[in-house]
Amino acid sequence: MPGPVTSAASAGCHRLLREYDARCVTSTAEVRELLGLDANLNGGRVGGDGARIDPDQTRLLDAMSTRTARSSVELARIAGLSEERVRALLGLLSLDERVRSDDAGWRLAVA
């Protein structure tokens, strides 16, 4: 995430944006757009933003709580998904601000 142009810590992000056509993304919809994914590929349910709802994402969200923090390993076991898939989904859900993490683990974000 780029910061102020006056910050030395932002130099790498700014260089990527300037010289390598990097893109800033703030949501999973923008990630899907950059990947060229059609929201309605292969059928499936469609959410309010027009994006296809991933059944694995639904399983992961069902395994989560707003009160109890869980590790990605525990969430993988509860949801019946691989740890790698859970970590990828948690990243996407975090971009959409549907989940949050802290030192204790992952929780559903409170609306």
Return the structure tokens found at 23. 């893109």
Assigned domain for 47 exists: no
Q: Round to whole Å and give the CA distance between 72 and 11.
A: 32
Query: 34 and 64: one domain?
Result: no
Q: How many domains is the chain partitioned into structurally?
A: 2
Query: 62 and 104: one domain?
Result: yes
Each residue's pLDDT expressed in tens, for the chain with a length of 111 residues: 567 778 888 888 888 887 877 778 777 777 777 776 655 444 444 555 556 678 899 999 999 998 999 999 999 999 999 999 999 999 999 988 999 999 999 999 986
Which residue segment(s) compose the domain that 98 sits in? 55-108
The two beta strands, 105-108 and 99-102, are: antiparallel
Q: Cα dist. 81→36, 48, 71, 108 in Å? A: 25, 25, 13, 18
Query: 33 and 77: one domain?
Result: no
What per-residue confidence (pLDDT) applies to 93?
92
Q: Would you give the end-to-end CA distance of the chain in angstroms?
A: 24
Assigned domain for 49 exists: no
